[in-house]
Structure 1
């Protein structure tokens, strides 16, 4: 596996945040002009759904770690789920195998610029083998529950850029020691730029998480950037860089390079499959996934 040195890691971590703070003012002006030409959808809500002809292009928070700034149209549902998800990692002393069964994100459009989410981990199997003794430890059960919501600040229905706010809280519903049994939370800032022929997105995130020793909490910060391009017809290829650093003493920087394909079956159904590849010692070596996004 390719490893990045500490100096490169610390410099790369805030890269996405720099992108977000260095946007030229011309983009914002173009954004305001474009939005003024959009249809007014502010009257639509959970009980007064957005008509099909006014629904925006399908957008999802999967399969990448860079979430979307766009919300689900008011009065509509969206399911984002893995059909298969497996993780492998190897270090000097142990080998990890992790299998997740149907992890999913359920979404409901409440207002034109607001939706609510419920992220579930129905069943997880974790196997850790000690390479010295050969002993295998296995854990299995339900994972954590994460309610969250997203507010789109601008760009939901067109424009050069889009920005969202996505706060979340992780509830410790896990079984068999599959989590840290602590309430944690954070705030994500997903951002997208409209570049003809390309999908370009960034995200910055701040979380408050439990210390490894369980004695208190500390912040951790993540940044990511993803780019995608249509290959042929309804098939597209994406590439993402993700980094995360922690304020906890002795923690290591985590970085991954991720890639995946998407196929647009129709305007409400998308298939995807790909991999997260660890680039630092703190990251898992390889995670493979296959899933879909369905809106109705």
Structure 2
């Protein structure tokens, strides 16, 4: 549930165009983000190591220091879901998360996918359905309860709401939300254990109601060198959609390279471990603190 608002669905349903009202909302949103980024001043903020949420399946409990802004972008993200009756390829471009430090332990969060392309091929009829456009947006905040710099034992809670600015199958088609609870623990200076628990009020497949979905992620982060780290994770995700309940098992590996103190590049892969899970996901991204 790294992107709660993105829903590949089963394909075949057309995407509708954004209304002028949707466009106006998005314009105001990004102008607001740009204004906050322009006014953020690192000179007066608490000095703290940069802790991007990227890469990987889970999230970090550390928060951005006050008056700092973190912009984290998936430059390219491709997912293949090859089921017995269909094959779905989903490509995201510029999937963006903006984190704004409000206090020593609280940050505001905004997320949006400016481009998504979903191609679904029905294996029985060989028909192909495609959809492209924007994805859903998310807003929320993260409140750290212990060690906001992520040192030692760090714990946080992160509630969020998904805004249905996209249309099915590029979005969920309705409002959703949830809460995430990440925990990390430094075993040594080079070894970090992580766990992320998430519970969602996920949108039903028909877009008419909501149901519970929940997941647990366990991870191990290894600092290979001063500027290079590797993360290995496993996830179990249960979705109680009335149209069909599923349990997905996933494994992930990723690398992060710190080009400088405020700039990170990453790449990763996710593999499905059972039939219900997508087969593979590949991505590359970048994170910058201002």
Which of the five TM-score ranges fits, normalised by the shorter chain? 0.7 to 0.9
Asked if 2 retains the 8 angstrom alpha-carbon contact of 1:106 and 1:119, the reply is: yes
Asked if 1 retains the 8 angstrom alpha-carbon contact of 2:269 and 2:283, the reply is: yes
Where do 5+ consecutive residues of structure 1 fail to align? 1-46
1:1-20 aligned within 5 A: none
Aligned residue number for residue 30 of structure 1:
none
Asked if 2 retains the 8 angstrom alpha-carbon contact of 1:265 and 1:271, the reply is: yes
SS, match of residue 78 in structure 1: strand
Asked if 1 retains the 8 angstrom alpha-carbon contact of 2:55 and 2:256, the reply is: no
1:81-120 aligned within 5 A: 81-120=73-112
Q: 1:117 to 1:245 in 2, by over 3 A?
A: same
Moved more, 244-253 or 135-144: 244-253
RMSD: 2.1
1:76 Cα deviation after fit? 0.7
Aligned residue number for residue 206 of structure 1:
199
1:68 Cα deviation after fit? 0.8
SS, match of residue 86 in structure 1: strand
Q: Distance in 1 between matches of 2:67 and 2:208?
A: 43
Aligned residue number for residue 132 of structure 2:
140
Q: Distance in 1 between matches of 2:80 and 2:150?
A: 40
Q: Distance in 1 between matches of 2:134 and 2:208?
A: 25
SS, match of residue 143 in structure 1: coil
1:174-213 aligned within 5 A: 174-175=166-167, 177-196=169-188, 197-213=190-206
1:135 Cα deviation after fit? 1.2
> Match for 1:285 among 263, 269, 279?
279
Number of residue pairs aligned between Structure 1 and Structure 2: 251
Asked if 2 retains the 8 angstrom alpha-carbon contact of 1:140 and 1:176, the reply is: no
| TM-score normalised by the chain length of structure 2 | 0.81
Q: Distance in 2 between matches of 1:159 and 1:265?
A: 21
Aligned residue number for residue 3 of structure 1:
none
Where do 5+ consecutive residues of structure 2 fail to align? 1-38
- 1:253 is aligned to 2:247: yes
Aligned residue number for residue 219 of structure 1:
212
- 1:62 is aligned to 2:54: yes
| TM-score normalised by the chain length of structure 1 | 0.79
Asked if 2 retains the 8 angstrom alpha-carbon contact of 1:63 and 1:272, the reply is: yes
Q: Distance in 2 between matches of 1:55 and 1:200?
A: 24
Q: Distance in 1 between matches of 2:207 and 2:187?
A: 45
- 1:163 is aligned to 2:158: no
Q: Distance in 1 between matches of 2:167 and 2:204?
A: 20
1:159 Cα deviation after fit? 4.8
1:156 Cα deviation after fit? 1.4
Asked if 1 retains the 8 angstrom alpha-carbon contact of 2:215 and 2:236, the reply is: yes
Asked if 1 retains the 8 angstrom alpha-carbon contact of 2:45 and 2:67, the reply is: no
Q: Distance in 2 between matches of 1:96 and 1:56?
A: 42
- 1:230 is aligned to 2:236: no
Asked if 2 retains the 8 angstrom alpha-carbon contact of 1:49 and 1:74, the reply is: no
Aligned residue number for residue 7 of structure 2:
none
Q: Distance in 2 between matches of 1:223 and 1:192?
A: 14
In the TM superposition, what whole-angstrom CA distance separates every residue of 1:41-93 from its partner, at most 9, and x where no partner exists?
A: xxxxxx89564794211112222121111111100111100111111121222
- 1:265 is aligned to 2:259: yes
Q: Distance in 2 between matches of 1:189 and 1:105?
A: 18
Aligned residue number for residue 20 of structure 1:
none
